[in-house]
Structure formats: C-alpha cells, structure tokens
Structure 1
Amino acid sequence: MSTVTEARLEPTGRTRINRGRNRAVADRAELLDLLADALVAHVGVQAPGTDGRPGHPVVLPTAYAVDVDGPDWGGTLYVHGSVAARWLRASVDRTVCVTVTELDGLVAGRSAFHHSMNYRSAVVIGRARLVDDPDERQHALDLIVDHMLPGRAATLRPSTRKELAATAVLAVPLHEASMKARAGGPVDEPEDVEAGVWGGHVPVRRVIDAPVPAEDNLPGLAVPDDVSGAGRTR
C-alpha cells in the first residue's frame, strides 16, 4: 500500500508525542523527506544474554533505505547487516525501534537553559521481519546502495551467492512512526533579551567533497556520474 496518499502520521500509544508536542510533525511527507535526506539510522534492540547473563538493550548505527510502496502497510524501511551479527538475529520477529536524526543548526540562547539545537528526528517502531524472498532482498539491497549514491546499484555486478548468504535484510513497517522538528532562533526570557546578550542560531549542513579515487583503480578511469553527482543529489 502506497504511503503517498496517506497524508498524516497517526500516533499510536507507542509513538504519541507527549513532551514538546508543539514540535510534533503530522505530515507524513515531511517524514519521508527526512528519511530521504538522512544517511544513518540507529536501531534499538534487546540483545540476548550470554554466559548466563541477562539480555541488555543495544543501539547500533546502520545504513538503511525506504520503499514507500513496500509490502508493509505504510511503506517499508530496510536495514541490513551480517547474518552473524547478534543484534540482527535478536531483532527477527521482535519489536525494534529505529531512529533517524538530522542536525540542522545550533541555537545560542541568552541563558544556558535556552540553548538548543535545530533538528529533524523520526522514531519508527515495528516488528522486524527477516526478508526471505530473493527478489525483495535484492531490491532492498539495491535501495540501500542507491540511498547512499543514487543510481549506483545499476552499475554494479550482481551479488554473488556467497555475498548474499552472508547478508541479512530486515524490514520494518513505517506504519508506527512519529517525527519532531525544531527550526529558527532561541526562545528567551524578555529580561534576558533586554540584558543585551547576543542570541541566534548557527545553521549546520552536510558538505560532500570531491570523490577520492582508490589507489588501485585501473589507469584512465573517470569518476562515474553516480559518484560525482552525490553532492548534487544531496
């Protein structure tokens, strides 16, 4: 089911924003824009115990991609990892929490209390599904590559059976998601403003530099468009 026609983020008991509700974002399109802009997701899982010790929570960074027309209702978020990864094995058929954050600015208030950051952040909660279907798994892996470098997947050789056997893909539905955002300058007390202390914000943006070729490139290889265009697409 496509998320394109689903205009709003409908909160559930697990995604309802209780604090800072004035910063809640209800437009699903803004969530999808954030997921398209960011590059790193953090996955929170309950890792199993070892050596008789109890399990413990763990949060790990990972590459990801989103398919707005994915098989899960509301769209699908894909993450991948090694089949030997304990966190990934512990996530299968269990509820996970995936977060994505983009830092957009540093807010300089006129008091320590009113210093802040401008940001966009998303929280996705759902049951992680191991992607067994070969076509869906290949599609997900291509999406993850193209999320980093759009158009790159089509230029690469097919994955080998050994590579695919070593890689697992998890799918998390985008149905239960929330988003918060902050923009602009500080919100200070009138007496602090009148005291004459400078206030404002410092915009923050990601800078992508020129590609650096590998030392073992064959002679004469030019930087391909899918790599040279990475800065333009972001």
Structure 2
Amino acid sequence: MNDTVDPTEIAGAPSEKTRLRRYNWLAKYDRDTINAIIDAGIVCQVGYVIDGMPYVTPTNHWRIDDFVYWHGSSASRMLKAQQKGIPVCFTVTHLDGIVFSRAAFNHNIQYRSVMAFGEAELCAEEVKRRALATFTDRLAPGLWDYARLPAEQEWKATKVIRMRLDEVSAKVADGLPSEDEEDYQSDRWAGSVALKMVQLDPVPDPKLRGGIEMPAFVRNFRYVGVK
C-alpha cells in the first residue's frame, strides 16, 4: 500500500491535525472505537512544552463522557504548567501482538492507539472531587466507599486536569501486512503471535491485621486491560 490519501478514507476526521496521513487505512474516527481504546487502560502519555522544552509524562488517566482526566500533586511542575491552558497531546497505546513477515521490511506489530490534541484545564474543587471518586471506582467498583475518604489536606495536595476530546483519532492495526507477490512463494514462515496482559491472584498486605476479610470488589476485580 502507499501513502496516497483517499478523501473517502478520511471522512469523519475531526481536523487536519488529527487526520492520519501515513497508513491512513488504519485510521478510526468513530467515538465508540476511540472511547474503547481509552477505557481499556489506565496509563497514558501526556506531551507538552514548558519554557521551550518538550516533555512527555506517563500518568494515570480516565474518561468521563467527552473529557479525559489525569491527576497529580499540587506541587507538580507539569500540572502547574498545564492548568494555565497550554496545548497538550494525549496518547494511549495497547500492544496486541507481533507480526512476522516473509520479508524483513514487513515485520510489524498489532496495536490500538489514540492520539488527542487540546488545551488542558484545571478542574474546580467540586469537579475534582467527583472526578477522583469516579476514577477510584473505575479501578474497582465500590473502592471509593470502602476506603478512608481523603482528609482536607489530602484534597488540597491533589490537582485534577482534564481535556475535551474534540481533536482525536485512533489507529488500529490488527492484521497481517501485505507482502510482495514473489514473497508469498517463498519457503519462509509468516504469521503472528498474540500478546495479552495476565492478571494474577490478590496478595494481602503483610501488615494486614488478622481476621480482615477480602472485600468483594477485590475478589471480583478484573483489570480493564485483561482480555
């Protein structure tokens, strides 16, 4: 395949910034696909510029409707810069497999990714508290009500940033690469190896007092990234 862009393949691209140019046939612009990729994990990468220097920070994320959120310390240089409304680039990637080709040039990976552009904004106190409760229960439904609620000093020590998902696109590679016709006639093996995350059994804290039962949300916990 080549990199020539067919206008019929980019219908729905939010903007020129988010339109895929290389491998444009892998582009997904529908919100269901985008949301599913974002929701399938809890670690994102946030790119931004401070004083002319580029930074990319891995952090936890979560989505509520058309916004993605991330949080951190009130003393964080990253959050202090982002709360001023600076442009940011938000990405999430899931590695799904390795693709082996007959030709070295065509080896590839299978993956799902999202890239979004926008301006970060600081959440007001009431929004911050609701958002953190949502994030906690996203990890394990019922965890927020089970755990000790944050003290006021802990609330003050935490900031929540969010960004509206306006300029966003997804890229999904889930097949085998196209090969040159002559390579199909070779005696070299080709195919793929799927990769997935594995969840292990819960391990109690060694300092846990005797007689404390494991809560249901831990027994029933299943990480969203486990297929």
TM-based fold match above 0.5 = yes
SS at match of 2:162: strand
Q: How many Å apart are 1:218 and its aligned residue?
A: 1.6
CA RMSD of aligned residues (A): 1.6
Which of 82, 91, 99 aligns to 1:107? It is 99
Whether 1:160 aligns to 2:148 is no
Whether 1:76 aligns to 2:60 is no
Give the letter for the 1:66 counterpart.
R
Give a deviation string over 1:153-204, Cα, whole Å, max 9, x none: 2322221111111111001001111101011223222222211111111111
Inter-partner Cα distance in structure 1 for 2:171 and 2:26: 5
Inter-partner Cα distance in structure 1 for 2:195 and 2:205: 29
Inter-partner Cα distance in structure 2 for 1:182 and 1:191: 24
Aligned to 1:142: 133
Where does structure 2 lack aligned partners over 5 or more consecutive residues?
Answer: 1-10
Q: How does the TM-score come out when normalised to structure 2?
A: 0.88
Aligned to 2:116: 124
> Contact 2:29–2:168 at 8 Å: present in 1 too?
no
> Contact 1:66–1:143 at 8 Å: present in 2 too?
no
Give the letter for the 2:57 counterpart.
L
Give a deviation string over 1:5-63, Cα, whole Å, max 9, x none: xxx95421221111111000122101111111122110001123xxxxxx310101100
Which of 59, 62, 65 aligns to 1:62? It is 59
Give a deviation string over 1:106-143, Cα, whole Å, max 9, x none: 111112211111111001111101012x2210111122
Inter-partner Cα distance in structure 1 for 2:105 and 2:141: 41
Q: How many Å apart are 1:232 and its aligned residue?
A: 6.8
User: Residues 191-202 of structure 1: matches in 2 within 5 Å?
Assistant: 191-202=182-193
Which of 214, 217, 221 aligns to 1:226? It is 217
Inter-partner Cα distance in structure 1 for 2:101 and 2:145: 48
Aligned to 2:19: 16
Give the letter for the 1:170 counterpart.
I
SS at match of 2:80: helix
Which of 197, 219, 224 aligns to 1:206? It is 197
Number of aligned residue pairs: 214
SS at match of 1:177: strand
Q: How many Å apart are 1:85 and its aligned residue?
A: 1.2
Q: Summarize the Cα distance change of 1:189–1:222 in structure 2 as closer, same or farther, 3 Å threshold.
A: farther
Identity %: 33
Whether 1:28 aligns to 2:31 is yes
Inter-partner Cα distance in structure 1 for 2:45 and 2:68: 12
Runs of 4+ in 1 over 6 A off after TM superposition: none
Aligned to 1:4: none
SS at match of 1:154: helix
Deviates more, 1:213-222 or 1:169-178: 213-222
> Contact 2:87–2:119 at 8 Å: present in 1 too?
yes
Give the letter for the 2:55 counterpart.
V
